[in-house]
C-alpha cells in the first residue's frame, strides 16, 4: 500500500474539516435538533443563494464599486501621507499619534454621522471605507519605508543620490512586502466597511440586501449573503497574492548556490 | 598629483578622540592598504573620506579638489555587498550611472560591457540572491568601478568570504587591477591580505588611531599566489606585527 505524502495530507486537511463541519451542521438541521427558523441547513442556504443569484450579483456590484473606490482613495492618501512623514521627521512625530487616534474611533459610531452630512448616496460609504483602510495602509507603508537598510542608504548618498532617487531605488521597493501585507488587511476591511455603511442607509448593495432579508426573517438568505461576502474577501486576497508575486519577482526566487 | 590626499584629520565622538592627525595619500593606479586592529578608527576614517562624516580638523582632497564632508565624490564597497535585492545584477551595477542621470538603456549597455571583464558574464538578468558570495562581491566591485574609474574605497570587502573563496578572489582581484589600474584605498585588518595586495601599507594603531608607520611592499606585480609562501612575505609580516605592537 502506498502512503500519501505529508504535503498532500496537509493540503487536504482544511477542506476535510470544512466538509465535516458542514455535514454535522446539515445533520443537526435535518434531524430537527436546531429549528429551521433559527438556523437554516447548508442545503437551504445553497438553495437561497441560487434562487436570489441575479439579485445578489447586482447588489455585489454596488458594494464592490464602493469598496474599490474607497480602497483606491485610501491607498493614494496613505501613500502621500507616508511619503511626507518618511521624508520629514518633524511631520512624522506630529502626525503619528493622530493616525493612531484615528484608528480608535469606532466606525459604526461615525457612520450615521456621515450619512447625516453626506446623504444616502455613495459618498458617505466611500468616506467610511477610506477612514477604515487609510490607517493600515499608511502605517504599513511608513514602516516599509523606514525598513530600508541604512547602510544601503549611506552608500546611495556616497554615490551622490538625491532624496528622490533614494526613495525610488531603495525605500519604495523595500516597502513593497509591507505594502502588500497591509493591502490584504485593507481590502477585507473595505468590503466589510462597505457592507456596514450600507446597513445604515442606502438604496443598493449587499448591506441593504442584508437588512431587508433580516427584516423578513429569511435566515437562509442571510447566511447566503454572509458566505458571499466571505468568498469575495477570500478572492480579493488571492488576487492580491497573485499581484504581489508579479510585482516582486525577487521574493519568490529559490536561493541557488553557485560556484565561484 | 596625488589622487587622494587626507591631511591631518582628527575626529572625536562625545569628547572621546577616535582619530588623531591622520594623513595619507594615494597615487594614480596605486593600491594602498590601511591596516589596523578593530577599534582603531578605520570605519570613522572611511566615513570621513567618503564624505558621509565631517572631521573636526583636517581636509580631504580628490585630484586636488577639496571634498571634505562632501558625499557623492567617492564610492565605496563594504564587507556587506549592499546589492539591492529587488534589482537584477545588471540593474544594481548600473545604479551609479542611473543616479548620475544617464538614461536607462545607455546605463545598462555601459554596465553590461564590463560583465565579462569582472567575471560576471551570464549573471546580468539574475537577482543577487541567486549568486554566490564571491560573485556578489565582484558585482559590488564593478558597481564601485562604474561610479568612478578614479578612486575606490574598499572597506574589508572580502572579509566575509570563506578562506578558499577569499584566496580565489584575491588572485582574480590582482588580475583585474592589473588591467583597470583603479587607484584603491583598501581598508583591512587582515595582514596577509594587505601584504599580498598592496603597493604600500599604512598602519593605523592606538587609541585614538594614528598612522604609526608606512611600509612599501616592493614585490613586483603581478604577484603570484606563491608570494605568501616566500621568506620576504614573512619578513614583511614580522615587521607589521611588531609595528602593530601585537603580542609575539
* DSSP string for residues in B111-157: HHHTTTTTT-TT-TTS-GGGS-HHHHHHHHHHHHHHH-SSEEEEEST
Of B154, B157, B167, give the one whose Cα is nearest residue B196. B167
Backbone angles phi, psi at A37, to 5 degrees: -70, -20
Using a CB-CB distance cutoff of 8 angstroms, which residues of chain B are in contact with residue A144?
A: none
If residue A172 lies in a helix (H) or strand (E), which one and from where to where? Answer: helix A172-199
Chain A residues contacting B via beta carbons under 8 Å: 149, 151-152, 154-161, 165, 169-170, 173-174, 176, 248-250, 253, 255-260
Using a CB-CB distance cutoff of 8 angstroms, which residues of chain A are in contact with residue B76?
A: 155, 158
CB contact under 8 A, B86 and A176: yes
Assign A57 a pLDDT band (cuts: 50, 70, 90). very high
CB contact under 8 A, A155 and B75: yes
Assign A82 a pLDDT band (cuts: 50, 70, 90). very high
Number of A to B CB contacts under 8 A, please give it.
74
Using a CB-CB distance cutoff of 8 angstroms, which residues of chain B are in contact with residue A170?
A: 84
Which of B73, B82, B96 is nearest residue A152 as measured by Cβ atoms? B82
Cis-peptide, bond into residue B222, ω within 30° of zero: yes
Which of A161, A170, A250 is nearest residue B129 as measured by Cβ atoms? A250
3-state secondary structure A192-225: HHHHHHHHCCCCCCHHHHHHHHHHCCCHHHHHHH
- pLDDT of residue A259 exceeding 70: no
Q: Using CB atoms within 10 A of its CB, is residue B11 exposed (0-12), middle (13-18) or buried (19+)?
A: buried
CB contact under 8 A, A258 and B78: no
CB contact under 8 A, A159 and B51: no
User: Which alpha helices (DSSP H) does chain B contain, by range?
Assistant: 42-49, 89-99, 104-113, 133-147, 163-180, 191-197, 231-243
CA dist A105 and A28 (Å) reads 40
CB contact under 8 A, B73 and A160: yes
Q: Which residues contact B2 (CB under 8 A, 6 or more apart)?
A: B25, B26, B27, B28, B61
CA dist A95 and A89 (Å) reads 10
B149/A contact by beta carbon, under 8 A = no
Best interface-test mutation with A: which of B85, B134, B152, B165 has the largest number of A CBs within 10 A? B85
Q: Tell me the sheet residues that pair with B178.
A: none
Using a CB-CB distance cutoff of 8 angstroms, which residues of chain B are in contact with residue A174?
A: 86
CB contact under 8 A, A258 and B130: yes
Across chain A, mean pLDDT equals: 88
Comparing A9-23, A138-152, B86-100, the range with the smallest average pLDDT is: A9-23
Distances B148 to A158, A173, B30, B141, B175 between C-alpha atoms, Å: 12, 26, 15, 11, 19
Residue A5: the pLDDT is 67
Distances A148 to A106, A144, A170, A259, B82 between C-alpha atoms, Å: 33, 7, 6, 29, 11
Domain boundaries, chain B: 1-65+187-248
Residue A241: the pLDDT is 92
For chain A, percent of residues with pLDDT exceeding 70 = 95
- The alpha carbon of residue B218 is apart from the nearest alpha carbon of chain A, in Å, by 30
Which of A155, A161, A250 is nearest residue B86 as measured by Cβ atoms? A250
Best interface-test mutation with B: which of A147, A148, A155, A161 has the largest number of B CBs within 10 A? A155
**What pLDDT tens digit does each residue of chain B (248 aa) get?**
788 899 898 988 888 888 889 999 998 888 999 988 777 788 888 889 988 888 989 999 988 888 888 888 888 888 888 999 999 999 999 999 999 889 999 999 999 998 888 888 888 899 998 888 888 988 998 998 888 877 888 888 888 788 888 888 888 888 888 788 888 898 888 888 889 888 999 998 888 888 888 888 888 877 877 888 888 889 889 888 888 876 54
Question: Taking a C-beta distance cutoff of 8 angstroms, is the pair A197, A124 a contact?
Answer: yes
Angle, helices A42-51 vs A6-30, to 10°: value is 90
Domain A61-205 maps to which CATH number in 3.40.50.2300, 1.10.10.410, 1.20.1260.10, 1.10.3720.10?
1.10.3720.10
Which of A157, A169, A176 is nearest residue B95 as measured by Cβ atoms? A169
- pLDDT of residue A79 exceeding 90: yes
Compute how many other C-beta atoms are within 10 angstroms of the C-beta atom of residue A182.
24
CATH number belonging to domain B1-65+187-248: 3.40.50.300
CA dist B55 and A188 (Å) reads 53
CB contact under 8 A, B52 and A169: no
- The alpha carbon of residue A68 is apart from the nearest alpha carbon of chain B, in Å, by 28
CB contact under 8 A, A154 and B131: no
Using a CB-CB distance cutoff of 8 angstroms, which residues of chain B are in contact with residue A178?
A: none
Residue A255: the pLDDT is 42
Residue A7: the pLDDT is 74
CA dist A172 and A148 (Å) reads 9
Report the alpha-carbon angle B59-B64-B65, nearest 5.
65
Using a CB-CB distance cutoff of 8 angstroms, which residues of chain A are in contact with residue B50?
A: 158
- pLDDT of residue A256 exceeding 60: no
Q: Using CB atoms within 10 A of its CB, is residue B79 exposed (0-12), middle (13-18) or buried (19+)?
A: middle
Comparing A85-89, A180-184, B238-242, the range with the smallest average pLDDT is: B238-242
Of A98, A44, A37, A107, give the one whose Cα is nearest residue A70. A107
Residue A258: the pLDDT is 41
If residue A146 lies in a helix (H) or strand (E), which one and from where to where? Answer: helix A123-146
CB contact under 8 A, B147 and A159: yes
Q: For the residues A232-255, what does the mean pLDDT come to? A: 85
Angle, helices A53-87 vs A219-247, to 10°: value is 40
Residue B246: the pLDDT is 60
Domain boundaries, chain A: 61-205
Using a CB-CB distance cutoff of 8 angstroms, which residues of chain A are in contact with residue B60?
A: none
Kindly state the cell numbers that stand for B233.
612575505
- pLDDT of residue A218 exceeding 60: yes
CA dist B43 and A197 (Å) reads 58
pLDDT in tens, B222-241: 787 788 888 888 988 988 88
- The bridge status of strand B183-188 relative to strand B151-155 is parallel
ipTM of the complex: 0.83
CB contact under 8 A, B127 and A156: no
CB contact under 8 A, B135 and A260: yes
Assign A106 a pLDDT band (cuts: 50, 70, 90). confident
Give residues 165 to 194 of B whose Cβ lies within 8 Å of A: 165, 168-169
Assign A257 a pLDDT band (cuts: 50, 70, 90). very low
Question: Taking a C-beta distance cutoff of 8 angstroms, is the pair B155, B117 a contact?
Answer: no
CA dist A155 and B41 (Å) reads 19
Distances B18 to B11, B111, B187 between C-alpha atoms, Å: 6, 38, 16
Question: Taking a C-beta distance cutoff of 8 angstroms, is the pair B75, B4 a contact?
Answer: no
Q: For the residues A213-224, what does the mean pLDDT come to? A: 88
Greatest alpha-carbon pair distance for chain B in Å reads 56
Q: In what order do the strands lie in the sheet with B210-216?
A: B75-77, B151-155, B183-188, B31-36, B200-205, B210-216
Q: In what order do the strands lie in the sheet with B65-66?
A: B16-26, B4-13, B57-62, B65-66
CB contact under 8 A, A160 and B80: no
Of B68, B164, B128, give the one whose Cα is nearest residue A249. B128
Kindly state the cell numbers that stand for A34.
436546531
Residue A2: the pLDDT is 55
Amino acid at each position: 500500500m502506498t502512503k500519501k505524502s505529508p504535503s498532500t495530507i496537509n493540503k487536504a486537511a482544511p477542506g476535510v474539516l470544512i466538509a465535516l463541519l458542514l455535514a454535522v451542521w446539515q445533520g443537526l438541521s435535518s434531524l430537527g435538533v436546531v429549528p429551521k427558523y433559527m438556523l437554516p441547513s447548508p442545503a437551504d442556504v445553497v438553495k437561497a443563494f441560487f434562487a436570489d443569484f441575479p439579485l445578489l450579483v447586482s447588489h455585489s456590484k454596488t458594494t464592490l464599486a464602493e469598496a474599490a473606490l474607497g480602497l483606491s482613495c485610501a491607498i493614494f492618501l496613505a501613500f502621500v501621507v507616508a511619503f511626507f512623514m518618511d521624508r520629514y521627521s518633524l511631520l512624522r512625530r506630529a502626525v503619528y499619534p493622530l493616525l493612531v487616534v484615528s484608528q480608535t474611533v469606532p466606525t459604526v459610531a461615525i457612520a450615521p454621522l456621515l450619512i447625516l452630512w453626506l446623504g444616502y448616496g455613495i459618498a458617505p460609504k466611500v468616506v467610511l471605507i477610506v477612514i477604515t483602510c487609510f490607517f493600515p495602509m499608511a502605517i504599513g507603508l511608513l514602516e516599509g519605508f523606514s525598513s530600508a537598510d541604512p547602510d544601503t542608504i549611506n552608500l546611495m548618498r556616497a554615490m551622490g543620490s538625491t532624496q528622490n532617487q533614494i526613495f525610488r531605488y531603495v525605500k519604495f521597493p523595500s516597502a513593497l512586502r509591507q505594502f502588500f501585507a497591509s493591502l490584504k488587511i485593507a481590502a477585507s476591511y473595505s468590503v466589510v466597511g462597505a457592507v456596514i455603511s450600507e446597513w445604515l442607509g442606502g438604496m443598493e448593495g449587499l448591506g441593504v440586501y442584508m437588512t431587508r432579508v433580516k427584516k423578513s426573517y429569511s435566515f437562509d438568505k442571510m447566511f447566503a449573503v454572509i458566505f458571499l461576502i466571505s468568498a469575495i474577501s477570500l478572492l480579493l486576497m488571492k488576487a492580491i497574492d497573485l499581484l504581489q508575486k508579479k510585482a516582486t519577482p525577487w521574493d519568490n526566487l529559490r536561493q541557488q548556490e553557485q560556484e565561484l | 598629483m596625488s589622487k587622494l590626499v587626507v591631511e591631518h584629520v582628527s575626529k572625536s565622538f562625545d569628547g572621546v578622540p577616535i582619530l588623531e592627525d591622520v594623513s595619507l595619500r594615494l597615487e594614480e593606479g596605486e593600491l594602498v592598504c590601511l591596516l589596523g586592529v578593530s577599534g582603531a578608527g578605520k570605519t570613522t576614517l572611511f566615513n570621513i573620506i567618503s564624505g558621509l562624516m565631517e572631521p573636526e580638523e583636517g581636509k580631504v582632497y580628490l585630484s586636488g579638489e577639496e571634498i571634505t564632508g562632501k558625499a557623492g565624490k567617492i564610492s565605496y564597497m563594504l564587507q556587506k555587498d549592499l546589492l539591492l535585492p529587488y534589482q537584477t545584477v545588471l540593474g544594481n551595477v548600473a545604479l551609479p550611472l542611473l543616479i548620475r542621470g544617464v538614461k536607462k538603456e545607455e546605463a545598462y549597455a555601459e554596465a553590461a560591457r564590463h560583465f565579462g571583464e569582472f567575471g560576471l558574464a551570464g549573471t546580468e538578468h539574475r537577482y543577487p540572491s541567486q549568486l554566490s558570495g564571491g560573485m556578489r562581491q565582484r558585482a559590488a566591485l564593478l558597481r564601485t568601478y562604474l561610479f568612478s574609474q578614479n578612486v575606490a574605497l574598499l572597506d574589508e570587502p572580502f572579509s566575509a568570504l570563506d578562506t578558499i573563496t577569499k584566496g580565489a578572489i584575491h588572485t582574480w582581484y590582482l588580475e583585474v587591477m592589473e588591467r583597470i589600474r583603479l587607484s584603491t584605498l583598501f581598508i583591512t585588518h587582515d595582514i596577509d591580505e594587505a601584504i599580498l595586495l598592496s603597493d604600500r601599507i599604512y598602519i593605523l594603531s592606538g587609541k585614538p588611531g594614528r598612522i604609526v608607520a608606512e611600509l612599501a611592499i616592493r614585490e613586483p606585480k603581478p604577484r603570484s599566489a606563491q608570494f605568501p609562501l616566500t621568506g620576504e612575505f614573512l619578513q614583511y609580516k614580522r615587521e607589521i606585527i611588531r609595528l602593530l605592537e601585537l603580542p609575539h
